[in-house]
Each structure stands twice: as C-alpha cells, then as structure tokens.
Amino acid sequence: MFVITNAWKNVIRNKGRNLLVLVIVALIAAAATIGLSIRQSAQNARTTGLADTTVTAQISLDRNTLLAAAQKQGANGGQPDFQALRKSLAGKQLSLADYQKYAKASSAVKATYYSQSAGLSATTGFQPVSSSDTSAGTDSSASGQSDSQGSSGSSQDSQGYGAREAMGGRGMQSGDFKLTGFSSDTAVDHATNGKFTMSSGKVFGYDKVSAGQIIISKALAQFNGIAVGDTITVANATDSTKTYKLTVAGIYTNTSAAGGTSGGMGNAADPDNAIYTSMATLDSLSLSSASTGESPEMQLNFTYVVSDKAGYAAFAKDVKAAGLSSDYTVSSPDVEEYEASLVPLDNLAKFALTLLLIVLGVGGAVLVALNVFNIRERKYEVGVLTAIGVRKAKVAAQFVFELLIVTMAGLALGAAAGAAASVPVSNHLLASQVAAQQSQQATQLAQFGRGMQGGGMPSGSQGQTGSQPGGASNAQGPSTTGRYERRASAFGKATDYVSSINSTVNVSVVGELVLIGLALTVISSLAAVVVIMRYEPLQILADRS
C-alpha cells in the first residue's frame, strides 16, 4: 500500500514531467489506435466481406497445367509437338451432365444456371449488323465457306477445329450470329454481352412449347426491318444447307454492352448480333451439347450459386471428393474480384503496420530516456528510501506504478482521440491509395494504347441473383460501407475498389492498446529498475552531503 500511495503522491507532485510523458503516450496511443483499427478493418473486410453475399463458382479446364505437362513430355529442343498438345486437350470439356453431377455432389450449392452458345450464319433475307459493305453472310458466300472448308475434313480438323480445341474449346465464334440459349431468367440476367431491356414484345419461355422463340437486338431488327411476331431464317454455321426458322418474340436494347463493337473479330462477336433464346430451342435445333455433344463451336457456361465464401470453399472441396480431376480448377469471379478490390486497403494496412512499429519504437525510446532522467534527478530520494529500510524492489515498484498511472491515463486520452479520428483519417489515406491505383492503371492504359477503345467489359459482383452486370457491388462487411470506386483495367475489365471503411475501435483494438501500454511501461521502467538496483544508499547520501 505504501508503494501505491507514494507513487500517486509523486505523480501529483511532478506535474510538468508527468504531463510531458502523458502527451507522448497519448500521441503514441492515437497513432496506434488508427493503425490497429485500419488493420482490423482490412482483416474484417477480407474474412467477412462476402459472409452474407451469395457467391458464384465455376469449374474450368486448367489448360496451362495440361499444356505444360504435354510440353514437358514432348520437349526435344525443336518445334513443339502440336498434335500432342491438341490431344492433351481433346475431349476435356465437361458436359452438361457432368456439371449437374457436381452440383448434386455438394450441399453448399443453392442454385445453378447455365447458358450455351452456337454460331449461326446469315441468309439472303436476314443479315448481321455490320459496317462492312461486303458481308460474308449471304447464302452463296456461306455456302462457299462451307464448301471450301467442308470439302477437306482432315484439313479442317487439323487447322480449324483442332486449333480451337487446343484453346480448350473456346475459340472464336464462327458464323454471323451468336445464338445463346439460357436455362432461366437468372442466366439471362448474367448474359455475357451485358445488361439489356425489352423494347417490345416479351422474353421467350423456357419450356418445349416455347421452343423456337427468340429475342433480337433493336439494332439487328432495324437493320433487317424485323418486327415482333416475324419469322427469320438462319443457317448452320458449318453447313449452310441446314436452315432454321425462328420466331421473334421480342426486341431488346443493350443498356450495358460487355464487349462493345466487334471491330475485326467477326460479326458474331458484336453484341448487336446476339440472338437470345432458351435451352429448349437449342435442343430442338440439335445445337446443344445435350443433343450433339460438346464441340468447339458450342460454348457451355455453367454457374453454381453458393450462400457465401465459406460455401464456396466447401463446394470446391466437395467436387474434388466427388471425382473432379486435377485437370480442372474451381474458381469464383466474385471472390477473385472482391480480393482485387481489397488491394488499396491491404496496402494501407501494410503502411499502417509500418507506421505503428516506427511510432512504438521512437516513442518507447523517448519514454526510456525520460524515465532514466527522472531517476537520476530523484537519486537522493532513492538513497533516503533505501537508507531507512525500504527494499530496492519496492522503490523500483514505486517508479513502475508512477509510470503505469501516467501511461494508462495517456493511453485512454489517445485512444479516445484515435477513435474519433480513425474514420476520417483512414478514409483519407484509403482514398490516396485508390487514387494511386487508378493513376497506375491510367499509366498502363497509356502504355498499352487501349485508352481510346472504350467498351470495356463491365465488372461487378454477380453473386447476388438479379444483380446487374456492370453495376456497383455491395459487398458489405462489418468494416466496410459498401461504397466502391470503378476503374478500368489494362484489358478493359473494371474493378470496384473498396474506397471507404468504417474503422471503428472495438474490443479487440482496445485489448491490443492495453497490451501496448503495458509493454511501454515495462520497457521504459526496466531501465529505471536497473539504475535503481545499482545505487548504493550510503554512497548517495555521502555524495549529497
């Protein structure tokens, strides 16, 4: 009790020195509070940002691994063995039945949707939207293409389909139109060409009764003078002798195009030449993989919907247990995009940690120096106390308690100031990080010369059913406000950076601050304790007299 009472009296007695120590500790505590809250926000954003948001997942062929293995086996120092490379990828595309099997293998899957695309060629009465005055889509030219390619099957396999198969069955879409069949409204909402709205008519149905119904873009309808209810005739992309009659049930307008105009990539890549229908229509035309098997001309995109990020991890584990080969990978555009959106926040967290370590190092050194000077000034007091029988350990404990009282008071004031300043300071620093990322992106755009192309692919979380492709994401976590900044990447893909955080001080931050305060007290007091233990009371009194 003597130690605590005497320590409190000395704190009151030496106001000037203790006030200086209190200010230093308060500054350290304020900086530590801001740094710790930023790190806590970054951790919460990473672990809980997608906790309450539906996440989509996809299974895709790991072409890089397969090609690397094939190249390693066929490496002979000369020209690559293209035949071996194609063979390593041949027949690797999963079928619709395979995708559905893996959906049933995991309880984490809440829903699925899919779409499949096939190429169609133009006919005399129905032409694609094109700025070229020499369309390759008429009956004669289409027939010519078919004849020139179809007359040599082996050549086509080795140079045409084979080359596309070497790319994993995702080669350039042939034909003049891209006919895409959807499994549900959710699949339509996530169309790869972007968001659209109906101008007239209505969307097709998904049952067999509605087979043959399509919707086309307003630009394509105006180009061909088509109205709702009209019937169009299109040809098979590889065999112009096969034609299909389709009924226009509606006309849509693109509100956010994923790819812009096609340029030199062919008419089928132009969003205005996209024809939408149901999977029932593709089945009836024998253009789906279910009816003809997977082929390079048919692009099947199957998406799994899970409840959250933990469900995504469980799904990845379940499909591997169900027999998914190591040739395939499980990925999530939502998780990958959210991880990319955290780059500025992660950079800020690293900066905050570095700043925190510097502040603690400098502040601790200053406190040690002040405490040693304090002991030297009160050397006679130490000599008197030890001379009258007070043990050196108690004298040292008194100085420790004095510093602890001042440190805890400064810690409380600094924590309060840091808590009040953490949100505006953190958001200001985060805005600087986002601006730096955007500046770096602008430099990349200038270097690649793609700044003038426009028509970038919209990004945005597609985790929630019904979200608009290209819209701002709302991946809210305990530490985020859900506000994002949009920027275009070097290849046209947009990323929504987390640009605002709610770096509030919670129990975890307070606990870490208390530990920091105790550590500062122990470290700075240790030097004082060493000095006190070296003092000899009689020598101190003799020097004094």
Alpha-carbon span 167 to 163, nearest angstrom? 7
Alpha-carbon span 208 to 277, nearest angstrom? 12
Asked whether the whole model's pTM tops 0.85, one would answer no
User: Is the domain of 390 the same as that of 281?
Assistant: no
User: Is the domain of 356 the same as that of 418?
Assistant: yes
Q: Is 24 exposed, middle or buried (0-12, 13-18, 19+ CB in 10 A)?
A: buried
Alpha-carbon span 411 to 271, nearest angstrom? 61
Which residue's structure tokens are 């984490």? 108
From 332, 353, 380, the end of a domain falls on 332
Q: Which domain holds residue 1?
A: 1-50+341-442+502-543
Alpha-carbon span 508 to 207, nearest angstrom? 55
User: Is the domain of 234 the same as that of 88?
Assistant: yes
User: Is the domain of 525 the same as that of 426?
Assistant: yes
- For residues 211 and 281, the answer to whether their CB atoms sit within 8 Å is yes
For the chain, the 3-state helix, strand and coil shares in percent, each to the nearest 5, are 55, 15, 30
Residue 487 lies in a domain: no
Total domains, the chain: 2
User: Is the domain of 400 the same as that of 275?
Assistant: no
From 283, 307, 332, the end of a domain falls on 332
Backbone angles phi, psi at 303, to 5 degrees: -125, 135
- For residues 92 and 147, the answer to whether their CB atoms sit within 8 Å is no
From 297, 332, 367, the end of a domain falls on 332
User: Is the domain of 257 the same as that of 314?
Assistant: yes
* pLDDT tens, the chain, 545 aa long: 767 777 777 777 777 777 888 888 888 888 888 888 888 877 777 777 777 678 899 998 887 777 776 666 655 555 566 776 677 666 777 888 899 999 999 999 999 999 998 889 999 999 999 866 554 444 434 334 434 333 333 333 333 333 333 333 334 446 899 999 999 998 988 887 778 889 999 999 999 999 999 999 999 999 999 999 999 999 988 888 899 999 999 999 988 655 444 444 578 888 899 999 999 999 899 887 665 444 445 678 899 999 888 889 999 999 999 999 888 899 988 888 888 777 888 888 888 888 888 888 888 888 888 888 877 777 777 777 777 777 877 877 887 888 888 888 888 898 888 888 877 777 777 777 777 776 776 666 665 554 444 333 333 333 333 333 333 333 333 333 333 333 333 334 445 666 566 666 677 888 888 888 888 888 877 776 777 666 666 666 666 65
User: Is the domain of 287 the same as that of 245?
Assistant: yes
Residue 151 lies in a domain: no
Residue 476 lies in a domain: no
Which residue's structure tokens are 């039945």? 97
- For residues 533 and 49, the answer to whether their CB atoms sit within 8 Å is no
